[in-house]
Structure 1
Amino acid sequence: MASRPMEEVPIMQQPTKGPTEGPDEDALRFMKLLENANQPCYEGCKHFSKLSAIVHLYHMKCLHGWTNKSFTMLLQFLLDFLPSNAKLPKDCYEARKIIKDLGWSYEKIHACPKDCILYWKENANLEACPNYNRLRWKSNESKANHMKWHAKGHANHKLLRHPTDSEAWKSFDSKYIKFSSEPRNVRLRLAADGFNSYGNMSSTHSWSTKGTLACPPSNYDSQSRWLKYGRIFSYIGHRRFLDNDHKFCKQKQSFDGHVDMRSAPIMNIVDYIIGILLNLDGKTKDNLKAHQDLKDTGIRSELHLEKVGNDKTRMPHACYHMNASEKDGFLQVLKDVRVPNGYSSNISCCVKLKECKISGMKSYDNHILMQQLFLIAIRGSLPPEVSRPLIGLSYFFREICSKVLNVDKLGALEKRIAVTLCKLERIFSPSFFTIMVHLVMHLFSKAKIAGQVHYCWMYLIERYLSRLKSYVYNKTYPEGSITEGYIAEKCLAFCSHYFKSVETAFNRPVRNVKESMGAVVSITLDSNSWIQAHLYVLFNCEEITPFRDVHIAEIKVDFPFHVTDDVIQKQHMEKFCA
């Protein structure tokens, strides 16, 4: 880890103590920091002081999420590795005691726009600047307009592009007329997800996805069936969401052996599809028990287990089974995917060609795979009668997750997904249709009520809750641990601005350069190029226009009236950035 040679920090002389006076606590803490900043990490060390070494190490701890135990083990190793006179702490607790005086707390203090006073101490309660009589509080017209946009700037149309277009928002307005009549009133959407401390992933406080009645929209009219051998509930019967004159409603052999003329009742699906297509152990729903359930329910006789000899059985080949070359082609397409930095995680790293599986994807990666990449990868690996319904499912997720939803088209899309699920029922075994697959049928009705789907996603909140829970090391005081960990991370992120030649959260190299073709070349600008770039921004940025106008007006005051605009512009170009 490179750093600049350690520079001497001026040592402050302690003030002369009177009979009852001495340095206050803030002065003592500051002088202690100066002492640690001037003390080499070990005798002969020219690049790190005791303080800078600890700050660098603790910054890496925060950046990479090291535990207190792992950080203590690293410090103990360094004490054994470095010379015996190294001035490093022996554990994480001592390291925090040394650097806590950098300021692991903050206080927001208002200042006059003219930078003449701080609203602090004796000025804390002032409402206006005593020097310029300018009010302390300033209304922000831009933010005020944004806060009222839903009532005054939002067009009345049949597109779902904002929560105000949802039925839930309109229902609230009609119920609480007095509140909704004031556009400045603020509405908050709360996330009611269970918070389990200490990294506990129990679902005690979360919604259950098991049992006969696991589908809330269907209530007691859910089409669930217990599979005797698979020992799971299967949710089939999506024909009731079709029109009564649809050809699927009267087909028996392709479905469960019955005609279904019922009316409709008043989701991780990607894992299921990948597991069954790649036949992944422990994840596929197409296993021996699934074929036994087919025989037990009396459907799909062509997929019943076949006896081979006296004591062996064989699973017949299904249309959705991939051979080795088809699996390689499917995975190779995903392995070769390159996306811009920030678009998703590196999906190619999740593809394991030798093991023939995909693992380690996050929730958002599943969305990218299902909506954008899946329909490309399966085209050459599955027959059309299988790939088309799966592509239709991919199209459905892309539509339902879009930023704008057309209310008039939601009904047609809802009928289309019902047909798609019925086609999938003709292909896959009942064990595939768990509650997560069945709930796809109800997403459009939920979108009408609550608005766009991305406003209801929980994985963003769950990911941040996981980050907060990682701060908890003292189970007696979880709130204090979270507060200390959060402030420490923000404090070290601020300190990292002053690190040289060290990777921080602000200078990490991007994984892929957006819209890059061929080799990517990094160019370091010299001082003249930096100046030219700086001048270009100052003379072409709209935000700087008021300052340029003020400068030109000042130039005109110093010149006689007969001077041409070209002369004034030349003076402006030469002196504006001087």
Structure 2
Amino acid sequence: MDKSWMPMAKTPDGRLSRPYIEGVNTFINFARSVLDLSGNIPCPCIHCVNCYQQSLQIVRIHLCHRGIMQSYVNCYNHGEPRVLNENIHDNEMSDGDHMGGIDALVGDRIRGEPRNATEDEEVRHFDKLEEDAKRELYPGCTDYNILKFVIEMLNVKVMTNLSNKGLDMMLELLTKVLPKDNLVPRSTYEAKKILRDLGMSYEHIDACKNDCALFWKENENLDKCPVCETPRYKDTRAQGKKIPHKVLRYFPLTPRLRRLYMSGQRAKDMRWYINKRVDDGIMRHPADSEEWKEFDLQHPDFALEPRNVRLGLATDGFNPFGNMNNNYSMWPVILIPYNLPPWLVMKEPYFMLSLLIPGPHQPGNEIDTYLKPLVDELKELWEEGVEIYDAYSKEHFQMRATLLWTIHDYPGFGNVSGWRTKGYHSCYTCNDEPYSEALESKIGFINHRAYLPMEHRWRHSQLHNGLSEKRKRSLELQVGKIQEQLDRMPNIILGKHPSTKKRQLIGEPNWSKVSILYKLPYWKNKKLKHNIDVMHVEKNISESIYGTLLGIEGRNKDTDKARIDLQNMNFRHTLHLKQRSDGSYDKPRAFFSLSPNERDGFYDFLKSIKYPDGYAANISRY
């Protein structure tokens, strides 16, 4: 296939020229041989980089609007046959701006030898890119390699709000100042291209300022929100590039999973749970859980391929500016591949940032709007999968992926699952039969001893509400019951626009929406869909216990209202408030609390312990 038209994609005029358009049409016709069941092919534009299946018309638009990636010399993904032992010389490519990834940056300055195309060329090419990215920035430099330098420079650009032109000028100056033969990128474009070819790129998706919809796929060319009709851009009359109100950063999942199998050692580790895990009834890994085993029974075709990926999803809000007085909340969505062994699975290098949901306010129920790109990709990875090269077994295989469960704190659980975490029905496990009652200024859940084993001693203790607990409840909520409730849910319109809020309804008993995760074919049959982050539970309960024992202001749960609740329940009379003759109340000391002298002695003990930096300062605040 003739590829002489590809270099014309560098400039807008070139992409509008007749030879380039004719070349695109020839390429589209040539690629019809790899159409999938939906009539789509991999899109080789500089944004999709063969990671997204698009229709032929969309691919034609992308290639004419964005241009084809210049590193796509051998069109294997579009029907061109692989040629073994073919010598491909770097000097046969076009100039540095047209070459892909690190090739664009260093070219013959680093390598100087021909690259052989073998059966595992894809892996060898990636290894070469990774090796080049770790080269020293200039001869004798020990502090920075190319990749570290690029990441820190782009971080400086973001933190200082530096323009692309400003960063280009800075890079040009560094190129002149540093020793000769340095590998500093010549422009912002080259710096970003290094990350993109290593699978670290992301996609900008404009969003409605009211979180109603994304300007993506069928809404890509709209200038107003299809739900609330709010303008897409801040200033619609401005000349030049328009600035959207909100931008979602989407990091495609498939390239990151592909990267795991490009390393022979990591590809071997991805089979650890099936090859080396000891199944002795002790839970050391998610593969030991009942949910994992139940999923294998429900989907045996998925379980037959041990290289298929099982994922967990975690999300929470944080303040990116580090100033807690600044009311801003940004929500990252992280994916964790559970195939890895336990000493790797929770390590930071294997956390995959999938979405970066913008602020300034938390998305709430509208998080479903931002999860659409990820859910669509997860659905595609489940139904069709993607062909990936396994560097350990040195073969291609069709990899599929599934989402096992999600992990959040309790408010985040309410946002993702659709179950409201406020009110008398806020306990998800109790569902429509809650063990809740009104206390002074709050709703209390004090009858959950019904979930304990019948022989548990707390069932017969009268320290909780003065009564023994004889009821029995199961912690397992029936999947069919949940599905029946969701089937009765009214149509919920997402969005924070006032006109949208008026049309929203709440389903019974406490549902606020049907989660977008139910679009995944396997989701509704899962028993365990959501997990509460143990860190938040331990932290909050521990703070409450120690705050009550030590009488810490703001963390003490032994309040006057709690004593009134005991009086209303008519038990633990020694702790009731005693009214004085002048109308005030005397609060009897509880047996579990420390006196002021005992508390001061406890503080002195804590301060005498040698802690890592920062912990002693936290203790002194109390």
TM-score, length-normalised on structure 1?
0.37
Structure 1 or 2: more helix by fraction: 1
Q: Quick one: higher RCO (CA 8 Å, sep 6+), 1 or 2?
A: 1
Indicate the structure with greater strand content: 2
